[in-house]
Structure 1
Amino acid sequence: MVGASPTNTGSGMLEALDPEQRAAASAPRGPVCVLAGAGTGKTRTITHRIAHLIGSGHISAGQVLAVTFTARAAGEMRTRLRALGVHGAQALTFHAAARRQLRYFWPRVVGDRPWDLLDGKLRFVGQAAQRVGLGADAEILRDLATEIEWAKASLVAPDDYPIAAARVQRDTPAPTAQVAEVYRAYEEIKNSARVLDFDDLLLHTTAALEEHDEVAREFRDRYRCFVVDEYQDVTPLQQRLLDAWLGGRDDLTVVGDANQTIYSFGGASPRPLLEFTRRFPDATVVRLERDYRSTPQVVDLANSVIAAARNRPAGSRLRLIGQRPDGPDPRFAEYEDEPSEAAAVAARVRYLLNAGVAASEIAILYRVNAQSEAYERALAEMGVPYLVRGGERFFERREIRQAMAALRTATVERSTDEDLVMVVRRVLAKVGLTEQPPAGGAAKERWDALLALVEVAEELSSTVEGADMSRYVAELEQRAAAQHPPTVEGVTLASLHAAKGLEWDAVFLVGLAEGILPIQHADGDEAAVEEERRLFYVGVTRAREHLWLSWSLSRHPGGRRHRRRSRFLHGLLPEHHSAARLGRARQLRDGTAKPRCRVCGGPLLETMEIKLARCGRCPSNVDEDLLARLKEWRTGRARELRVPPFVVFTDATLVAIAEQRPVDPVGLVSISGIGPTKVERFGSDVLAVVRGERG
């Protein structure tokens, strides 16, 4: 079956796609850019595109190389292609693809035995740091390793590191000259040991293609069609490797969403995605905005989060359109301290479990890994099973290694005419898979892990005709090599970064306080704050139906309540919704309520603070582009009316509009100084400017 054409070729394959997905999947060979919002079916689209190109005879399966950024995403792509009848197309991570190519070409470009791959670089970084006199503190070594990874991903050599780090304002663990010395020593130590790190896979593969014409010719004769998923996360090094793969050709499909760029700290940049049409003027561009993942309530919140972003480039202005039936409104909650917040989240998780939501369909997401401890404790006290994403790898667990050994033995002993799922269950029964699950604890975790192997067998039986034990064990070994584990029953605990590319029925976004999200070291750097906003957006868009957003005012019970809720929640909380805002505006005008800061909730005392609905301590989030458009509109309107500009609106009022970005007349009325008369006279014009329809 290797290299076989899809079984459902032609236009029939595309009938299940929506019009935009179909346009992307059926676009002719050549450059194609798919701007795909969260939940819009990008993997479905690009796998159908690959299948359509193969089924239509444009290319053979063996000529396709599809790359993405995680082993899980690559595994999902292979599963989707297999279900479409595509066998032989390569779907790998950048590093896995480069490793295969480097291993194949190594004898030709180097000549001796291939160098081994480092599992981790900290040992060599530690030796380099001691050589430079920086000591061996574990935290500093991790930070130094991160700087080396950023530099290599950004194509920055040791000599160029100080200038490059200063240019992008890197927060370095030591003076840049010392970091450069560690970087240089690390490369010397690593090369002397004749080993490679993961970045070397990309660097050496790129060099092999750029510097050896016969290698480039052989590679380009083999691969003719390239697909890059999550293109907004590409680094300069990955882009250079992609350029080497292409060799001046343009048979390239890229898929991405600049609103989900969250890895700038590692060298990633959405620039290649946003500038794709500049490089390929004849490219086909398709926008996917129909969100099939989340309810309209979740989608509306996600749109509000990203609409508040500043300086959004044109290519990132996707507005999701929810396609699912209505669901519950997102819920917001404030707590006195972190343990109270964690206990409330655990109680709500238990409620969802009792209502029939599967534990594997619930996630608790936080900004930094250190936040997980409180939730682990709260879930354990509630008797709720959980998994910490980024912990022990599934295929390295003792019970899974035992199960794999038993399954391999059964592959030799068993005939292939038995039902695959029954055989797998019978084999796993010998290593602990009982008919009924244990009550809980570690035994239940082991049982869940073994059951997940049965579910892989069920999936394989439903997608591959005649699948037998040999095919099943090969699938497991491929997943193990790619770190693509099956789903295990348990609530997921994960950082927002680790949640990228995943989705759940219910998502709890916790710890949404200033200094945590946005994280403290981002404050004062507009680009860093906007990346934190995109990280929040990614978290929101992980939820299919239930979304809970919470924060606490102090870390410990009885502690000082010095925290403020995240600025990213402004305009999202119920008190900012239309009916409540209108009532609030009336109360303010009637003098029955004291004005409060819309960011921190503190009292507003000064006239300007009341005008902006923001105290002087809280940072401004004014949209400078919007403010300029408002001033331009005001100038024209004042000229028409033959009055001074301040008669239309004062500068302070325009700043308040540019900060609060009202979406309806009620929102305008809630801004101090804008009454019904001005709303009636100028409201439609102002709202059109806010929406970007005029200026």
Structure 2
Amino acid sequence: MAVPKPVSGAITSQFGRRDAGYLQGLNEEQREAVLSTEGPLLVLAGAGTGKTRVLTTRIAHILNTGKAAGKEILAVTFTNKAAREMRDRVEGFVPRLAGLPWMGTFHSIGARILRQHAKLVDLDPKFTILDVDDQVRLIKQLLEAENIDEKRWPARAFAGMLDNWKNRGLLSGDLTQADASGFANGRGQKLYADYQARLKILNAVDFGDLLLENIRLFREHPDVLGEYHKRFRYILVDEYQDSNVAQYLWLRLLAQGRPASEANVCVVGDDDQSIYGWRGAEVDNILRFE
């Protein structure tokens, strides 16, 4: 488990008795990671070594010591189950909790932000989120309109390509010729653009858009991004080795409100594994943390 700086014994003893409830049972390195609250922090450890517990206890410590209110903390997980467990643990650690931190998956947090600013990306706040079957049906309609043989160029295959492009943070205009050439003899870029245009007409987004539209929102409306810079004083991310390029770009934008050395961003992960490689996970994001 790696941390960038040591924590003095004075800090440990200062909180030792009063905070025994949530610090109890932590080993020295876990305790160090919990108490090192200021500045960027990368925690690396293998499976089953208590990384998520460190993250949860760190949130409790920030709240119990008054360093931030619940609404000023963003905690990102990779599954809804993990988010629920984190929420339950924090509530147990922090009596009289006035307000919960923002806790959820990358995509659930992205959806929450998007609904608050939907009109800035040409959507209504009541937009719907398409599942894969909805995507495939829509793509089939586009293929038919373009006289593309769906048996030769399956809609489901193109849905997979779209997902890959969006996980890489690519809008239709960002595709290279090599990217676009992989479907329907080079018509991938036009199909991507037509697909996005149809989504706007339907007031809908797909799973990838929940982050991609956030990234576009932040880049095109720095005032909105500034609101979230002021809101989130602490950002914490679980299972960071499983983040993809779009998630990395989204996180980097949110973390840029302060100089890098002062950004209170904590990510935990295992650089020896990545369970979401099929969703474009980039374990190199850990190497780029600095």
| TM-score computed with the length of structure 2 as normaliser | 0.80
Residues 1:103 and 2:103 are matched in the alignment: no
Q: Give the 3 Å change call, closer, same or farther, for CA 161–188 of structure 1 in structure 2.
A: same
SS in 2 for 1:198: coil
SS in 1 for 2:268: strand
Confirm or deny: 8 A CA contact 1:9 1:56 kept in the other structure.
no
Shift in Å, 1:190? 1.7
The residue that corresponds to 1:272 in the other structure is 285
SS in 2 for 1:37: coil
The residue that corresponds to 2:22 in the other structure is 13
Which of 142, 161, 165 in structure 2 is aligned with 1:147? 161
The residue that corresponds to 1:89 in the other structure is 101
Which of 201, 206, 209 in structure 1 is aligned with 2:210? 201
Confirm or deny: 8 A CA contact 1:127 1:186 kept in the other structure.
no
Confirm or deny: 8 A CA contact 1:233 1:261 kept in the other structure.
yes
Q: Give the 3 Å change call, closer, same or farther, for CA 161–210 of structure 1 in structure 2.
A: closer
Q: Give the 3 Å change call, closer, same or farther, for CA 152–115 of structure 1 in structure 2.
A: farther
Higher relative contact order (CA 8 A, sep 6+): 2
Shift in Å, 1:72? 1.4
Paired residue total:
264
Q: Give the 3 Å change call, closer, same or farther, for CA 262–88 of structure 1 in structure 2.
A: closer
Separation in 2 of the partners of 1:36 and 1:176? 45
The residue that corresponds to 2:14 in the other structure is none
The residue that corresponds to 2:148 in the other structure is 134
Separation in 2 of the partners of 1:138 and 1:39? 46
The residue that corresponds to 2:78 in the other structure is 69
Separation in 1 of the partners of 2:167 and 2:91? 32
Shift in Å, 1:176? 6.2
**AA in 1 matched with 2:90:** L
Which of 204, 216, 219 in structure 2 is aligned with 1:210? 219
**AA in 1 matched with 2:273:** Q
1:621-659, Cα deviation, whole Å (9 max, x unpaired): xxxxxxxxxxxxxxxxxxxxxxxxxxxxxxxxxxxxxxx
Residues 1:161 and 2:175 are matched in the alignment: yes
Structure 1 gap segments, 5+ residues each: 1-7, 280-695
Shift in Å, 1:160? 4.6
| TM-score computed with the length of structure 1 as normaliser | 0.35
The residue that corresponds to 1:125 in the other structure is 139
Separation in 2 of the partners of 1:259 and 1:134? 43
The residue that corresponds to 1:254 in the other structure is 267
Q: Give the 3 Å change call, closer, same or farther, for CA 215–164 of structure 1 in structure 2.
A: same
Residues 1:52 and 2:98 are matched in the alignment: no
Which of 91, 101, 113 in structure 1 is aligned with 2:124? 113
Separation in 2 of the partners of 1:104 and 1:75? 22
Residues 1:244 and 2:262 are matched in the alignment: no
Separation in 1 of the partners of 2:122 and 2:191? 29
Separation in 1 of the partners of 2:125 and 2:152? 30
**AA in 2 matched with 1:119:** L
Separation in 1 of the partners of 2:250 and 2:202? 25
**AA in 1 matched with 2:277:** S
Q: Give the 3 Å change call, closer, same or farther, for CA 56–176 of structure 1 in structure 2.
A: farther
Question: Which one is further off, 75-84 or 127-136?
Answer: 127-136
Separation in 2 of the partners of 1:156 and 1:73? 28
Confirm or deny: 8 A CA contact 2:177 2:186 kept in the other structure.
no
Separation in 2 of the partners of 1:146 and 1:262? 18
Larger Rg: 1
